[in-house]
Copies of this chain bind each other. A is one copy, B any other.
C-alpha cells in the first residue's frame, strides 16, 4: 500500500453553493438570467403580500455597456415592507441567513435565492450589488455589498443614508450579471405571464434590454387570506425536533408539553395519545431518556387519532382569484376552477387548486397544455418530471368529451408549508400519493365541468339550427296551407315558434 495522503478541508456554505451553483438554477448564462429574475421577483412578492401590501414590482434589465451584449444590470424594485437596515448585509450576502425558516407557506423555502443571485453576479462581473431599502420613514439606506465567499460573510463597501420624505417603503436590488437574454427571453416572459395568472392582485412591469415594456396589471384588489405561523403536527415530527422543543419548553408534564407545542393537540387528544404511547401524563419532558424520546416520536407517527393539520398556515388563492387570474392572462371562452379540501402528507398540510380554461385565446397545441404552480410560483422548467404532468397524461380525456389538440389548458396549484420538491432548483414536484390523489380528483372535477359546458354548447347549437329551420319553413308552410285551403288570411305562426323555443328551454 502506498503512503496515504488525504487532505481534509472545511468550506463555508457560500463556498458550497458557489461550487455547486448549477443545482440552485445557475448552470449557465441562459438559465442564470432566468433564475435571477425569478428569485428577485419572488423575494419581492414575499415582501409584500404577506404584509398585507398589494404588490407593485418593477423589473428592469439593461445591458451593462454597449460593447458586450452578455452582461446585464438587473434592477428589481418593490413596495414591500423593506429590510431593517442592520439586517440588509446579512440578508443579502450571507448564505443560510433568512427570514424564511418558519412553519407557514411562503414562496421562498431554502432562503438561498437572493444571495445565490448576488453570488452569481459577483463571480461573473466582479461588481458589487446595490441594495436600497426602507421600512418607512425617517430614513432610506443604500448599501453597496459583496460576498466574502470563502468566509460566508458580507463585505460592506459603502453605506449611505437618505431622508425618506415620500413615506416610501420597499426594497431595490441592483445586480450586475452575465447572461444570455435573447435565449432566455421566452421562458422569462412565460414566467412573468404565469406569475400574473396566480398573482392577479400584483402590478408587474418589466422593461427588457431592447426597451420593450411588458405590463401585467392588477385586476383584483383583494389579497388571498394570509398564512399564520403554526406549530408542528405530530405526524411530521422527528427526534431532532422534539429535542429542540424539550430544550426550550417550560412545561413540567408531558400532558402540558403535548398541548403546548404541537398542532391540533387538545387535552383529550393528549390524554388518549399518552395512554396509547404508554407515558404517564405527569412525566417531565426534560427527564426523558434518549430511547424514550424515540418511543414518543414513533408513537406520534403511529397514533391515528390526531386531528389532521388545519390550513391556517396555508394561503391558497381561492376560486375567485384563480378564476380572475386565468381570465385576465389567458382570455378563454370558458373557465372552471376548484379548490380541494385541505389534506396532509407526513404531517405537512397542503391544498390543491385546479383550473381548466377552454377556447378564446387558448392555443391549440399538439400536446396537452399544463400550467404548474407551487405556493404561487409558476414552474416553467422540467415539466415531464413533475407529478402533475404524469397525472394529466394518465387521464382518459375522451371520457370528458376532450382530447389533446382541442384548445384547453389545465392549471394545477399546490400550496403547502412543505412543497415536496425534487430539487433545490424548485422546478419539479415529487410524487406523493396523498398529493397526487388530490390533483387527480381536482382535474376530474373541472374536466367534468368543461365537458358539461361543451355538451350544453353542442346542444344549444343544435337547437339553434332546428329553430332556424322552423323559422324558415313554417311561414312558407302556413302560406301554402292557407292557399290550399282557399283562405285569404295566413295563420299566425308566432305562437308555434314560441312553443318550439319553449320546449328547448325546459
Q: Decide: A291 and B8 in contact? CB cutoff 8 A.
A: no
Bound together, the chains give a CA A8 to CA B88 distance in angstroms of 10
Q: Which of A119-127, A327-335, A436-444 touches B?
A: A119-127
Bound together, the chains give a CA A28 to CA B347 distance in angstroms of 13
Q: Is A169 on the interface with B (CB-CB < 8 A)? A: yes
Bound together, the chains give a CA A30 to CA B169 distance in angstroms of 48
Q: Mark A37-75, 1 if CB is under 8 A from B, else 0.
A: 000000000000001110000000000000010000000
Q: Which residues of B contact A346 (CB under 8 A)?
A: 28
Closest to A52 in B: B2
Q: Is A9 on the interface with B (CB-CB < 8 A)? A: yes
Contact residues, A230-287 vs B (CB, 8 A): 238-240, 244
Q: Is A221 on the interface with B (CB-CB < 8 A)? A: no
Q: Which residues of B contact A82 (CB under 8 A)?
A: 4
Q: Decide: B99 and A135 in contact? CB cutoff 8 A.
A: no
Q: Which of A187-195, A316-324, A421-429, A465-473 touches B?
A: A421-429
Q: Decide: B13 and A291 in contact? CB cutoff 8 A.
A: no
Contact residues, A182-239 vs B (CB, 8 A): 238-239
Q: Is A164 on the interface with B (CB-CB < 8 A)? A: no
Q: Which of A18-26, A396-404, A451-459, A492-500 touches B?
A: A18-26
Q: Decide: B96 and A420 in contact? CB cutoff 8 A.
A: no
Query: Are A90 and B385 also in contact (CB < 8 A) when A27-B420, A122-B239, A124-B238 are?
Result: no
Q: Is A486 on the interface with B (CB-CB < 8 A)? A: no
Q: Decide: B53 and A240 in contact? CB cutoff 8 A.
A: no
Bound together, the chains give a CA A41 to CA B297 distance in angstroms of 29
Q: Is A1 on the interface with B (CB-CB < 8 A)? A: yes
Query: Are A293 and B126 also in contact (CB < 8 A) when A27-B420, A81-B4 are?
Result: yes
Query: Are A96 and B291 also in contact (CB < 8 A) when A22-B430, A101-B19, A382-B385 are?
Result: no
Q: Which residues of B contact A20 (CB under 8 A)?
A: 109-110, 424
Q: Decide: B123 and A240 in contact? CB cutoff 8 A.
A: yes
Q: Which residues of B contact A422 (CB under 8 A)?
A: 23, 423, 425
Q: Decide: A126 and B290 in contact? CB cutoff 8 A.
A: yes
Q: Decide: B83 and A6 in contact? CB cutoff 8 A.
A: yes
Closest to A176 in B: B294
Return A177 CB to nearest CB of chain B, in Å. Answer: 11
Q: Decide: B7 and A99 in contact? CB cutoff 8 A.
A: yes
Bound together, the chains give a CA A23 to CA B15 distance in angstroms of 19
Q: Which of B1, B10, B19 contacts A94 (CB 8 A)?
A: B10
Q: Is A365 on the interface with B (CB-CB < 8 A)? A: no
Q: Is A162 on the interface with B (CB-CB < 8 A)? A: no
Bound together, the chains give a CA A149 to CA B425 distance in angstroms of 24
Most chain B Cβ neighbours within 10 Å, of A16, A81, A97, A291: A16
Return A25 CB to nearest CB of chain B, in Å. Answer: 11
Query: Are A81 and B10 also in contact (CB < 8 A) when A20-B110, A239-B122 are?
Result: no
Q: Is A481 on the interface with B (CB-CB < 8 A)? A: no
Q: Decide: B423 and A23 in contact? CB cutoff 8 A.
A: yes
Q: Which of B9, B99, B136 contacts A6 (CB 8 A)?
A: B99
Bound together, the chains give a CA A238 to CA B68 distance in angstroms of 17
Bound together, the chains give a CA A68 to CA B12 distance in angstroms of 39
Bound together, the chains give a CA A257 to CA B256 distance in angstroms of 67
Bound together, the chains give a CA A304 to CA B57 distance in angstroms of 42
Closest to A291 in B: B126
Q: Is A377 on the interface with B (CB-CB < 8 A)? A: no
Q: Which residues of B contact A98 (CB under 8 A)?
A: 8-9, 11
Q: Which residues of B contact A83 (CB under 8 A)?
A: 6
Query: Are A239 and B52 also in contact (CB < 8 A) when A8-B91, A9-B97 are?
Result: no
Bound together, the chains give a CA A238 to CA B90 distance in angstroms of 24
Q: Mark A358-390, 1 if CB is under 8 A from B, else 0.
A: 000000000000000000000000101100000
Q: Decide: B16 and A96 in contact? CB cutoff 8 A.
A: yes
Seed contacts A4-B135, A122-B239; 5 additional CB < 8 Å A-B pairs: A6-B81, A9-B101, A124-B239, A126-B291, A422-B425
Enumerate the 9 nearest inter-chain pairs by beta-carbon distance, A residue then B residue, closest first: A4-B81, A423-B423, A123-B240, A123-B238, A126-B294, A126-B239, A6-B99, A10-B97, A126-B290
**Sample of 29 A–B contacts (CB below 8 Å):** A1-B52, A1-B53, A1-B169, A4-B51, A8-B90, A8-B91, A8-B99, A9-B97, A9-B99, A10-B96, A13-B13, A13-B16, A13-B96, A20-B424, A22-B420, A22-B421, A23-B421, A23-B423, A27-B420, A28-B346, A122-B239, A125-B239, A125-B294, A126-B293, A126-B297, A382-B385, A385-B385, A423-B424, A423-B425
